[in-house]
Structure 1
Amino acid sequence: MSGLLSYGGDTSVVAARSEIERITTDLGLVQRRLLDELQPLAQLNGLIHHLQLDAILPETLIRLGLQRHGCFVASESYFTADARVAHQLSALAETIHSNAWLTRLIPKEAWVALGAATVVAGFSNTNFTAQMVRAAGSQLPLEKFDLLAQVIPSERVLAGQVPAPQLPRPTTVAAITHRLNNDSGNIRIEGYQTKSGRVLLVYLPGTANWSPVGGRSAFDLRSDLELIGDSQNTNSSRAANAALKAYGAKSSDRLILVGYSQGGMVAAQMAEENSNVVGLITIGAPVADAKFSPDLPVLSVEHSNDVVPALAGATNPLTENWATATRHWEIEPGETVIQAHYISAYADTAALVDGSSDSGLVRIRSKILGTIEGAEALAAREYQPLKAAS
């Protein structure tokens, strides 16, 4: 299996590729402006000024050239080949999105071919699959997904408590991920008493029911559609809040949220809305467009050939408190790319996250896990996120 790659989470590297390119362009403009000062007509305006300028200009131009070269090297070395392709696709998609007239110029047959290629690619073991989905996803009217879900009658939800195994305090990302690596579909909440007060570690599962109607789990297809459409009131999010209420969560409690797939979208939404969230881990979730507090430590674990994170239509931003760890998940002959989304696969990748020495991962991992380091374990409870019987 391929090795782990990561970006973000490092205070010394906080410029996205687009920002590096913008700075490079600006440096080029400065160079050209200074060269214009050497033109004969410019020299006639302020002789003493230009004599002074001539003395320092050669060294200044050399320094600017070195800065531009440094930006180029940083851009090419920091971003992997996969990231460069994804960046190019994202840039193309953004251009089309920002210029509606381009959409009209592209023949309908081309859009059909793109859709067909994306569907076919979904059954191949390539990173290009997810990149195509990400580019296509950026063109989808995602806000309409919420309208689509609204044709399905809304349902009441409840969080029914079930027996929960009492496990040791997790000290690794792998230990946290393994607690979602089961078929229960339950929301798990663990309490920890620290010197600064109580911390609740909340585990949110993935989609349990792929039918838009019927089924008992609140983590259903309807919630997927609503979350992609940025709805604030989904079955799954209401189930998560119901579980916290049943546990006895208080406004003074700090929360660490861990979510897989749909659970990652729910966790991201909760983190956007609640200032008491002090840590977030998303696993195989489309959260690139989330707007978190800049101080919130976020760790996203993704597979480069998993189409689900790509549904966000963008790549996760490069910021000092958001680290993204990704790798290509090898798929056996005859298997589909869906294998890359399995929580069991992510459990293996989480172990690589723990073993990584990348500065951004180490920093964010330490900030999140350090919140409960040495804490006293309190009660652990699990809740079934159910739709109430009508």
Structure 2
Amino acid sequence: MSIESYGGNPDIVAAREEIQRVAFEIKLCAEELTAWPALETLLSDPIHQLKFRIAAIGIEQKLHRLHTHCILAAENYFTIEAQIQRRFEITFVPELARIISQLIIGPGWQVDRNVKADLVSEQISRKPSSISTILDRLWELSSKDQPTVGIDLLENSAGSKTAIVYIPGTQSFSFGDGSNPLDMASNIQAMGQANQAASEKAVLLAIGQAGISSKDEVIFVGHSQGGMVAGNLAANPIGFISAGLITFGAPLAQLRNLKVPVMAVEHVNDPVPNLSGKTNPLKKNWVTIQRLSNKSESNAVMFSHSLKSYKNTSVEIDSSSDVGVKNIKSQLLQKVEGTKPSKSFEFRISRAFR
């Protein structure tokens, strides 16, 4: 199945309600024209009134056609949005996650007080040229034995840096009692609010250790939990300039204040993006891309959620002619145009207890 998308097109930003409002106004005009009570003026100026009434018949027909076409245009454009609406809008999911986060720190629970980001590798960075190459780098980091965050620095002519931060998905099913911060506890905390999850705190620590400053731009890339963490950091920048966000299989709809270019890649049969309980917004800076993945694409138990399956989707994204997809992809890749490779860091992140 080929990809489908909505959002990301600055020329189509009106919601269905606005299009229907225009259609309603057109219908009112047609009704008023039909009900024109001008019998008295017909007697006083019959020639002009007859001409007007003859012309009004054609105008009324055109108005009715415009009304119909507005309704059809709204339905046709929002077909994908209507498909996305198959998700139940459970608006209390983030609030529920915050409550659970508070319960986690109750009596009897081990809670992380410290996180670490240990530098394990430093090489020359590679400048990405496509969404597919960006996913390759994320896949490379996600395949490592230890929880590893990658930060690739690129130098700008002005002396500042552009950084791409890669964050893997969930790797442990523990609830805060293990050293790997990419666990279920961090999933709940990241959904609840920003700057709470151990994985998020560790990524922020790695960003600081990579030498990123307040004048440097950062593009975040994440899979699953890594996408949630990436979204929180992109929406709440601390010590850097947020410049873009790319997520694969991540619940992201709970974040409504994202102002950077956003590319949310989801599989129709991947349940994880649904965990936000909401639908991604229709915005000119945010494109949601969907595809139905096949079991043959990955041997993972949840094949639709695996990066191997999302790799095929990324290839289709790079060849897509959809306006919204092209707009957001262009905005993201333009951030690295004209830059030079610099340093590439890999940090092993971990949770510590007191």
Whether the TM-score (by the shorter chain) exceeds 0.5 is: yes
User: CA separation of 1:165/1:70 partners in 2, compared to 1, >3 Å: closer, same or farther?
Assistant: farther
2:143 is aligned with 1:183: yes
Tell me, what secondary structure is at the counterpart of 2:8? Answer: coil
Q: Are 1:306 and 1:337, in contact at CA under 8 Å, matched by a contact in 2? A: no
| Distance in 1 separating the partners of 2:170 and 2:317 | 24
Q: Are 2:297 and 2:308, in contact at CA under 8 Å, matched by a contact in 1? A: no
Tell me, what secondary structure is at the counterpart of 1:372? Answer: coil
Unaligned runs of 5+ in 2: 106-110
Paired residue for 2:96? Answer: 144
Q: Are 1:186 and 1:383, in contact at CA under 8 Å, matched by a contact in 2? A: yes
State the Cα RMSD in Å.
3.1
Q: How far apart are residue 317 of structure 1 and its match?
A: 2.0
2:299 is aligned with 1:343: no
How do 1:85-164 and structure 2 match up within 5 A?
85-87=83-85, 131=86, 134-135=87-88, 138=90, 140-153=92-105, 154-155=111-112, 156-164=114-122
Paired residue for 1:384? Answer: 348
| Distance in 1 separating the partners of 2:63 and 2:127 | 52
* Count of residue correspondences: 338
Match of 1:289 among 238, 254, 266: 254
| Distance in 1 separating the partners of 2:251 and 2:93 | 15
User: CA separation of 1:277/1:58 partners in 2, compared to 1, >3 Å: closer, same or farther?
Assistant: farther
Tell me, what secondary structure is at the counterpart of 2:276? Answer: coil
| Distance in 1 separating the partners of 2:256 and 2:271 | 21
| Distance in 2 separating the partners of 1:383 and 1:163 | 7
2:82 is aligned with 1:84: yes
User: CA separation of 1:21/1:306 partners in 2, compared to 1, >3 Å: closer, same or farther?
Assistant: farther
User: CA separation of 1:151/1:349 partners in 2, compared to 1, >3 Å: closer, same or farther?
Assistant: same
2:299 is aligned with 1:301: no
How do 1:34-49 and structure 2 match up within 5 A?
34-35=33-34, 37-38=35-36
Letter in 2 for 1:265: M
Paired residue for 1:28? Answer: 27
User: CA separation of 1:191/1:23 partners in 2, compared to 1, >3 Å: closer, same or farther?
Assistant: same
User: CA separation of 1:336/1:207 partners in 2, compared to 1, >3 Å: closer, same or farther?
Assistant: closer
Q: How far apart are residue 178 of structure 1 and its match?
A: 1.2
Paired residue for 1:10? Answer: 9
Bigger Rg, structure 1 or 2: 2
Q: How far apart are residue 238 of structure 1 and its match?
A: 1.0
Tell me, what secondary structure is at the counterpart of 1:266? Answer: helix
| Distance in 1 separating the partners of 2:182 and 2:57 | 64
Q: Are 2:13 and 2:284, in contact at CA under 8 Å, matched by a contact in 1? A: yes
Tell me, what secondary structure is at the counterpart of 1:206? Answer: coil
| Distance in 1 separating the partners of 2:318 and 2:249 | 17
Tell me, what secondary structure is at the counterpart of 2:287? Answer: strand
Paired residue for 1:92? Answer: none
Tell me, what secondary structure is at the counterpart of 1:209? Answer: coil
Deviations 1:263-291 (A, max 9, x none): 11111112222382111111111112322
Paired residue for 1:278? Answer: 243
Deviations 1:87-137 (A, max 9, x none): 3xxxxxxxxxxxxxxxxxxxxxxxxxxxxxxxxxxxxxxxxxxx4xx21x5
Q: Compute the TM-score of the two structures, normalised by the length of structure 1.
A: 0.77
User: CA separation of 1:56/1:265 partners in 2, compared to 1, >3 Å: closer, same or farther?
Assistant: farther
Q: How far apart are residue 346 of structure 1 and its match?
A: 0.9
Letter in 1 for 2:199: S
Tell me, what secondary structure is at the counterpart of 2:335? Answer: helix
| Distance in 2 separating the partners of 1:334 and 1:389 | 37
2:274 is aligned with 1:310: yes
User: CA separation of 1:232/1:10 partners in 2, compared to 1, >3 Å: closer, same or farther?
Assistant: same
Letter in 1 for 2:82: R
Q: How far apart are residue 249 of structure 1 and its match?
A: 1.3
Q: How far apart are residue 336 of structure 1 and its match?
A: 8.6
Paired residue for 1:194? Answer: 156
Segment drifting more, 181-190 vs 246-255: 181-190
Q: Compute the TM-score of the two structures, normalised by the length of structure 2.
A: 0.84
Segment drifting more, 327-336 vs 243-252: 327-336
User: CA separation of 1:325/1:85 partners in 2, compared to 1, >3 Å: closer, same or farther?
Assistant: closer
How do 1:164-243 and structure 2 match up within 5 A?
164=122, 166-181=124-139, 182-184=142-144, 185-196=147-158, 197-243=160-206
Match of 1:360 among 320, 324, 332: 324
Letter in 2 for 1:287: L
Q: Are 1:157 and 1:235, in contact at CA under 8 Å, matched by a contact in 2? A: yes
| Distance in 1 separating the partners of 2:247 and 2:100 | 26
